[in-house]
């Protein structure tokens, strides 16, 4: 017989009888081993960090429960792997099973978590009352606290690199940072961060600020600070579309930096969605006969959306149509929805870990600047989001020359011939590094691809002085189509990739000249000090 995995799934899902028999036999054998060891009193705590506490090891009943749970989770995972379905459905099954399995861990329930019970006893009930207070506070905030927000203030101890806002419109503020060296390269760098998050991930605290590092390398740096649109805004920002973000956002920022620096071209860097926007804007400029950028840097950026990793489980025509109907003509894609989605990509680390600590044990999460930023979500204008979702994740139109359009203009990324530095993070679950590498097959100029260790954020934010992680470089300028071939011939280097990129950028930044004592110019005079007011607006 075939064994159904889910009777509620819209199509029949089954496992071949021989595969099911193997899974059943392995389950019974492993369960017998666990029971035998439990009976002898030799059952060791599992390696899973959720069950490493001393109270788990001291309670045979709870220890047996933990092993039974983990064994059941492995069996469900094997059944999904053996299901007779196509890979898209298998991935959705795998994601759904992960959500249920992680949510039902005995560690998530006070009645089944001896560590949490011990915390209540040791604190004479204080842990329970504090946990309820934490829960009530998070309900008021509408999100799970991942860090102690009270320890951070934008402009006070995060986003503190000195500078001035030199321009603003309905979509963004442009920050020009104050030089930190006696001389600077004549060609400036314009950074385009994702508008799905606040820019200050690139300017956290001084010790881990990418912006501060770049300024200290003698670069004149401009930063786009995207506006966080609110439901109460009345100036039409909720109707802003993809074309406006390219024309009135990215290209406008490049033009202003060019004007202030008196340089015909600038260097440009895009991070994540910001990189997708930047490359699209440059393709739009190219179609008009304009080349505003001398070099291009893309950090963890998708241009070819063929493989989007775990996010693919959310992508289908039904979802696109729903969003088109809801917000395609105006309105907001709530930042809270986006933040929740990203958290549940890694639920044990970003959800249940804090449920246990905050609510069951009554602990206050520690202060961590990156998680403070992670909780500072941004809304997106509906028309922008719906164009982006359909043309990238759903239809992968940017990859095909002329298929994606900005208004009446066809976009062709293969016409971009400026030198490019492309970076991917090896353990990135949002932009798989092989997909970041796929950009090498679209762009036509000389390219350097660098692979860093760790994930989507930690791989990028890796200051040299920390002495952490490593990166890989293949010095062969002929980038093969297969990323596996590239990696097989790449050399590993210890530490941060930032100095490698800085050396590359210096080669495209022009001669050095004496740093100016002021920022802006007569046309673009300073408006307010960095970090500006847009970045301080909280989502609804």
Positive or negative, the CA dihedral 42, 47, 50, 53 is positive
Q: Please give the Cα distance from 273 to 285 (Å, whole number).
A: 18
Q: Are residues 258 and 385 in the same domain?
A: yes
Domain range for 388 is 163-334+379-536
The CATH number that applies at residue 181 is 3.40.50.1820
Q: Please give the Cα distance from 526 to 513 (Å, whole number).
A: 22
Q: Are residues 88 and 193 in the same domain?
A: no
In the three-class reduction of DSSP (H, G, I as helix; E, B as strand; rest coil), residue 428 is classed as: coil
Domain presence at residue 343: no
Domain presence at residue 353: no
- Which pLDDT belongs to residue 141? 87
Q: Which of 121, 146, 181 is the last residue of a domain?
A: 121
Q: Please give the Cα distance from 41 to 58 (Å, whole number).
A: 11
Domain presence at residue 143: no
Q: Are residues 176 and 35 in the same domain?
A: no
Q: Are residues 115 and 189 in the same domain?
A: no
Domain presence at residue 373: no
Q: What is the pLDDT along the chain (540 residues), one digit of tens a residue?
A: 343 333 344 556 788 899 999 999 999 999 999 999 999 999 999 999 999 999 999 999 999 999 999 999 999 999 999 999 888 889 889 999 999 999 999 999 999 999 999 999 999 999 999 999 999 999 998 889 999 999 999 999 999 999 999 999 999 999 999 999 999 999 999 999 999 999 999 999 999 999 999 999 999 999 999 999 999 999 999 999 999 999 999 999 999 999 999 999 999 999 999 999 999 999 999 999 999 999 999 999 999 999 998 888 999 999 999 999 999 999 999 998 888 888 888 899 989 999 999 999 999 999 999 999 999 999 999 999 999 999 999 999 999 999 999 999 999 999 999 999 999 999 999 999 999 999 999 999 999 999 999 999 999 999 999 999 999 999 998 899 999 999 999 999 999 999 999 999 999 999 999 999 899 999 999 999 999 999 999 996
Q: Which of 121, 151, 186 is the last residue of a domain?
A: 121
> Cα 78–84–89 angle (5° rounding)?
85
Q: Please give the Cα distance from 171 to 269 (Å, whole number).
A: 18
Domain presence at residue 524: yes
H or E element, residue 163: strand 163-168
Domain presence at residue 247: yes
Q: Are residues 206 and 288 in the same domain?
A: yes
Q: Are residues 327 and 204 in the same domain?
A: yes
Q: b vs e for 384-421, b when ≥16 Cβ sit within 10 Å of the residue's Cβ?
A: bbbbbbbbbbebbbbbeeeebbbeebebbbeebebbbb
The mean pLDDT value of the chain amounts to: 94
Residue among 221, 217, 275 nearest 422 (CA)? 275
Q: Are residues 105 and 178 in the same domain?
A: no
Q: Are residues 35 and 179 in the same domain?
A: no
Catalytic residue positions, numbered: 272
Q: Are residues 114 and 167 in the same domain?
A: no
Cβ atoms of 113 and 119 within 8 Å: the answer is no
- Which pLDDT belongs to residue 12? 63
Domain presence at residue 53: yes
> How many structural domains does the chain have?
2
Domain presence at residue 144: no
DSSP E strands in 193-340: the ranges are 221-226, 266-271, 293-299, 332-333
- Which pLDDT belongs to residue 4? 38
Q: How far, CA to CA in Å, does 320 sit from each of 326, 338, 351? A: 10, 15, 26
Q: Are residues 272 and 416 in the same domain?
A: yes
Place of tokens 């070819």: 304
Cβ atoms of 211 and 203 within 8 Å: the answer is yes
In the three-class reduction of DSSP (H, G, I as helix; E, B as strand; rest coil), residue 431 is classed as: coil
Q: Are residues 90 and 169 in the same domain?
A: no
H or E element, residue 166: strand 163-168
Name the maximum alpha-carbon separation found in the chain.
82
Q: Which of 90, 121, 152 is the last residue of a domain?
A: 121
Cβ atoms of 521 and 486 within 8 Å: the answer is no
- Which pLDDT belongs to residue 11? 54
- Which pLDDT belongs to residue 2? 41
- Which pLDDT belongs to residue 241? 97
Residue among 273, 216, 214 nearest 461 (CA)? 214
15: β partners: 3, 83
In the three-class reduction of DSSP (H, G, I as helix; E, B as strand; rest coil), residue 10 is classed as: coil
Q: Are residues 102 and 170 in the same domain?
A: no
């Amino acid at each position: 017989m075939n064994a159904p995995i889910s009777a509620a799934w819209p199509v029949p899902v089954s496992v071949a009888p021989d595969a099911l028999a193997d899974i059943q036999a392995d389950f019974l054998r492993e369960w017998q081993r666990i029971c035998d060891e439990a009976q002898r009193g030799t059952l060791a705590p599992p390696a899973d960090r959720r069950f490493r506490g001393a109270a788990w090891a001291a309670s045979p009943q709870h220890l047996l429960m933990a092993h039974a749970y983990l064994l059941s989770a492995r069996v469900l995972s094997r059944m999904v792997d053996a299901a007779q379905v196509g890979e898209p459905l298998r991935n959705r099954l795998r994601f759904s099973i992960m959500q249920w399995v992680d949510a039902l861990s005995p560690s998530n329930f006070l009645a089944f978590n001896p560590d949490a019970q011990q915390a209540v006893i040791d604190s004479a009930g204080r842990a329970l009352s504090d946990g309820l207070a934490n829960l009530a506070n998070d309900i008021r905030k509408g999100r799970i606290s991942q860090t102690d927000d009270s320890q951070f203030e934008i402009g006070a101890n995060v986003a503190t690199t000195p500078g001035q806002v030199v321009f603003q419109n309905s979509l963004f503020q442009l920050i020009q940072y104050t030089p930190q060296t006696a001389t600077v390269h004549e060609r400036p760098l314009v950074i385009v961060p994702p508008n799905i998050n606040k820019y200050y991930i690139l300017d956290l605290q001084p010790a881990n600020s990418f912006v501060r590092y770049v300024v200290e390398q003698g670069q004149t740096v401009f930063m786009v600070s995207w506006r966080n649109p609110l439901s109460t805004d009345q100036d039409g920002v909720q109707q802003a579309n993809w074309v406006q973000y390219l024309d009135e956002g990215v290209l406008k920022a490049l033009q202003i930096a060019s004007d202030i620096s008196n340089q015909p071209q600038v260097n440009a860097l895009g991070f994540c969605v910001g990189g997708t926007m930047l490359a699209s804007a440059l393709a739009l400029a190219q179609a008009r006969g304009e080349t505003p950028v001398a070099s291009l840097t893309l950090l963890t950026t998708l241009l070819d959306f063929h493989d989007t990793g775990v996010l693919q489980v959310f992508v289908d025509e039904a979802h696109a149509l729903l969003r088109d109907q809801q917000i395609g003509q105006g309105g907001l894609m709530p930042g809270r929805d986006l933040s929740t989605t990203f958290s549940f990509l890694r639920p044990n680390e970003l959800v249940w870990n804090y449920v246990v600590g905050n609510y069951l044990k009554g602990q206050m999460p520690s202060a961590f600047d990156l998680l403070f930023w992670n909780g500072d979500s941004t809304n997106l204008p509906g028309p922008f989001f719906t164009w982006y979702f359909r043309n990238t994740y759903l239809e992968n139109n940017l990859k095909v020359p002329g298929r994606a359009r900005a208004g009446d203009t066809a976009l062709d990324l293969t016409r971009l011939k400026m030198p490019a530095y492309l970076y991917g993070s090896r353990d990135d679950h949002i932009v798989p590094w092989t997909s970041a590498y796929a950009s090498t097959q679209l762009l036509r100029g000389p390219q350097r691809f660098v692979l860093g260790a760790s994930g989507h954020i930690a791989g990028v934010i890796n200051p040299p002085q920390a002495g952490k992680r490593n990166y890989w470089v293949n010095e062969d300028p002929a980038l093969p189509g297969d990323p596996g071939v590239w990696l097989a011939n790449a050399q590993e280097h210890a530490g941060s990739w930032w100095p490698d990129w800085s050396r590359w950028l210096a080669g495209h930044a022009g001669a050095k000249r004496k740093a100016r004592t002021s920022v802006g110019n007569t046309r673009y005079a300073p408006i307010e000090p960095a970090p500006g007011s847009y970045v301080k607006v909280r989502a609804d």
